[in-house]
Chain A
Amino acid sequence: MAFFFDLFVNGLMIGMMYALVALGFVLIYKATSVVNFAQGELVMFGGYVAAALITLYHLPLAIAIPVLLGTMVLLGFVLERVVLRPLVGQQVISVVMVTIGLASVLQGSAALVWGAQTKNIQLPIRLEPYIIWEIYISPVNIVAALVSAGFLVAFAWFFRKSRMGIAMRAVANDQQAAMGVGINVRFVFAVSWAIAGLAAALGGVLWGSMLGVDTQLALVGLKVFPAVILGGLDSVPGAIVGGLMIGGIESVAAGYVDPYVGGGTKDFLPYVLMILALMIRPYGFFGREIIERV
């Protein structure tokens, strides 16, 4: 049983980070109706910037982290302004192709600037795992889960209670009406991308410190799709629950199945879950039920 809990708890903590990345994706989809295939690459880019600041330029963390967050927020703003705004009102497929192109550009330019070899991000976190009730928990995982959870809680508050958050939900609900009450819809779009950039920055540091930073880091983005489909493409709580579910299930399944099949369960199972979700409940567990009065 300890083995199961070991897998499950560590899986949940990884899932928390999936949730973080998924949040950025859902937010952009909800507010701007753009399916952002470059979310994983944004995370990778965040990781590269973090590695550059911390490992290459040896900046102290107290400076590096704010600079990283600022850079990624700015990147979010710029991408929205330069790449996506000209496409407002275009067909979905054009926008999707642009985000796929954006993914390649981000990947290529990061490798171009900082090199393709794997970089490590050294965070001042101890390496030996804690052992709690026979469960091995690595400190990096704990920090990552806590940072992700903190960000998600802060975002949830912002989204539900702050005036900007309410305005963002209003835009997601009815764009024309939002304009009618004087909400600056373009600014809301930009803020959505900025927050997605922020989530990607945190994701980049955390994932980067665990896996090392190279272009492979973008593959994290692949786990986002099962998470958001499971949770509901346009639901913020759904992104969190979906992320946790994918993290927990893949970890447990990999622990029990991998010894027999020789690995790969982690990459394969989330997509099986996604296909099942699409067959049974295509709008996800928390997806928007369209309110219709009869």
Chain B
Amino acid sequence: MSAGNGTGRPLLAVNNIEVIYDHVILVLKGVSLRVPEGGIVALLGANGAGKSTTLKAISGLLRTERGDVTKGTVEWRGAPIHREGAADVVRHGIVQVMEGRHVFEHLTVDENLLTGAYTRPGGDALRRDLDLVYTYFPRLTQRRHVRAGYISGGEQQMLAIGRALMARPRLMLLDEPSMGLAPMLVAEIFDIVARLNREENVAVLLAEQNATIALKYAQYGYVMESGRVVLDGDARTISDNEDIKEFYLGLTGVGQRKSYRDVKHYRRRKRWLS
């Protein structure tokens, strides 16, 4: 599938943004990326590379952490949105699922889902969507009236995604959905995300440290390091890249898993930019 990056007007375009925290700390140094309508785009990189900051710059949550987009633009269907508040961004159809799930622990599962629809008028459509979320996440059905603080981590991640879905988004920003979850659960959650993408036409921008699984589901990928995008391309191209294999996928050139026993000494991690 051609990811469509570059051709036609993208759903979301991040143009060379710079983000500064607390007026002094430069965190993003010119990040550009595109998400096409209905696509899944992966944003890869190690801890502290700037993935979460990029997502927060898009969703407007940056300002809650004293961060600010000082240069560049974020465009939604061609219109700039980087000056708008988080609530307005949600109204446009962009919802972020934050790292670490951030469900409302003291609210029940049902109530959590209802908060997700805060920006929409109530009524039948809302009730139908609530049922829709439960059909995507059948595990949550038995937990409807349980406080979200008492459900398992996997269920909380599902709840966080379901809550985002209640806003009827066109783009979901997923921040580390695999964090702290068993591999089986991770696969289950990614399958559901892929289904949402197909059936509900929700585009996904996926920030992940787990590059293997992210590239399996994404059509296009960006690799970040120290606040910059250092590499981008089709998911296939990226997973074939020697350096990516070495540093993110833990594979050798022949595609076998590398054992620590074979490594006599550690090679210094490659830096793309000085």
How many B residues are at the interface, by size bracket?
A: 20 to 34
A 218-235 to B, binary, CB cutoff 8 A, 1 in contact else 0: 000000000000000000
B 129-161 to A, binary, CB cutoff 8 A, 1 in contact else 0: 000000000000000000101101100000000
Q: Are A170 and B107 in contact (CB under 8 A)?
A: yes
Residues of B close to A180: CB separation below 8 A? 59, 61, 86, 90, 95-96, 98, 102
Most buried by B among A163, A176, A177, A183: A177
- Given that A170-B115, A173-B106 are contacting pairs, would A181 and B122 also be in contact in the complex, using a CB cutoff of 8 Å? no
Residues of A close to B214: CB separation below 8 A? none
Bound CA span A167–B166, Å: 14
Interface check B167, CB cutoff 8 A: yes
Q: Are B167 and A181 in contact (CB under 8 A)?
A: yes
Interface check B47, CB cutoff 8 A: no
Interface check A166, CB cutoff 8 A: yes
State the Cβ distance, B161 to closest chain A Cβ, in Å: 12
Bound CA span A175–B102, Å: 10
Q: Are B118 and A183 in contact (CB under 8 A)?
A: yes
Q: Are B150 and A293 in contact (CB under 8 A)?
A: yes
CB closest chain-B residue, reference A234:
B106
Q: Are A175 and B64 in contact (CB under 8 A)?
A: yes
Bound CA span A174–B61, Å: 13
Q: Are B150 and A176 in contact (CB under 8 A)?
A: no
Residues of B close to A167: CB separation below 8 A? 115, 118
Q: Are B104 and A174 in contact (CB under 8 A)?
A: yes
Q: Are A182 and B111 in contact (CB under 8 A)?
A: no
Interface check B191, CB cutoff 8 A: no
Bound CA span A169–B86, Å: 18
Question: Contact partner of A182 among B90, B103, B147, B152, CB < 8 A?
Answer: B90
Q: Are B167 and A182 in contact (CB under 8 A)?
A: yes
Bound CA span A182–B102, Å: 14
State the Cβ distance, B172 to closest chain A Cβ, in Å: 12
Question: Contact partner of B106 among A163, A182, A184, A288, CB < 8 A?
Answer: A288
Residues of B close to A278: CB separation below 8 A? none
Residues of A close to B102: CB separation below 8 A? 174, 176-177, 180
Residues of A close to B149: CB separation below 8 A? 291, 293
Bound CA span A182–B165, Å: 12
Interface check A84, CB cutoff 8 A: no
State the Cβ distance, A118 to closest chain B Cβ, in Å: 44
Interface check A105, CB cutoff 8 A: no
Bound CA span A288–B105, Å: 11
B 50-65 to A, binary, CB cutoff 8 A, 1 in contact else 0: 0000000001110010
Question: Contact partner of B115 among A175, A181, A288, CB < 8 A?
Answer: A181
Question: Contact partner of A173 among B98, B105, B114, CB < 8 A?
Answer: B105
Instruction: Give residues of chain B (78-115) contacting chain A, Cβ–Cβ below 8 Å.
Output: 86-87, 89-91, 95-96, 98, 102-107, 111-112, 114-115
How many A residues are at the interface, by size bracket?
A: 20 to 34
Bound CA span A172–B122, Å: 22
State the Cβ distance, A236 to closest chain B Cβ, in Å: 12
State the Cβ distance, B65 to closest chain A Cβ, in Å: 8
Q: Are B98 and A177 in contact (CB under 8 A)?
A: yes
Residues of A close to B150: CB separation below 8 A? 291, 293
Q: Are B115 and A166 in contact (CB under 8 A)?
A: yes
Residues of B close to A183: CB separation below 8 A? 87, 115, 118
State the Cβ distance, B173 to closest chain A Cβ, in Å: 9
Instruction: Give residues of chain A (154-195) contacting chain B, Cβ–Cβ below 8 Å.
Output: 163, 166-167, 169-170, 172-184
Q: Are A173 and B104 in contact (CB under 8 A)?
A: yes
State the Cβ distance, B54 to closest chain A Cβ, in Å: 15
Bound CA span A288–B102, Å: 18
Q: Are A169 and B107 in contact (CB under 8 A)?
A: yes
CB closest chain-B residue, reference A182:
B90
Residues of B close to A173: CB separation below 8 A? 104-107
Instruction: Give residues of chain B (33-70) contacting chain A, Cβ–Cβ below 8 Å.
Output: 59-61, 64
Residues of A close to B118: CB separation below 8 A? 163, 167, 181-183
Bound CA span A169–B147, Å: 13
Bound CA span A228–B163, Å: 33
CB closest chain-B residue, reference A177:
B102
Bound CA span A182–B59, Å: 10
Residues of A close to B152: CB separation below 8 A? 293
Residues of A close to B60: CB separation below 8 A? 179
Q: Are B107 and A166 in contact (CB under 8 A)?
A: yes
- B residues near A, CB below 8 A? 59-61, 64, 86-87, 89-91, 95-96, 98, 102-107, 111-112, 114-116, 118-119, 122, 147, 149-150, 152-153, 163-164, 167
Sample of 11 A–B contacts (CB below 8 Å) = A170-B107, A173-B104, A173-B107, A174-B105, A177-B104, A180-B59, A180-B86, A181-B163, A182-B86, A293-B150, A293-B152
Apart from the given pairs A170-B104, A180-B90, 15 other A-B contacts in the complex at a CB distance below 8 Å: A170-B107, A173-B105, A174-B102, A174-B105, A177-B102, A177-B104, A179-B60, A180-B59, A181-B115, A181-B118, A181-B163, A182-B86, A182-B90, A182-B118, A184-B87
- A residues near B, CB below 8 A? 163, 166-167, 169-170, 172-184, 288, 291, 293
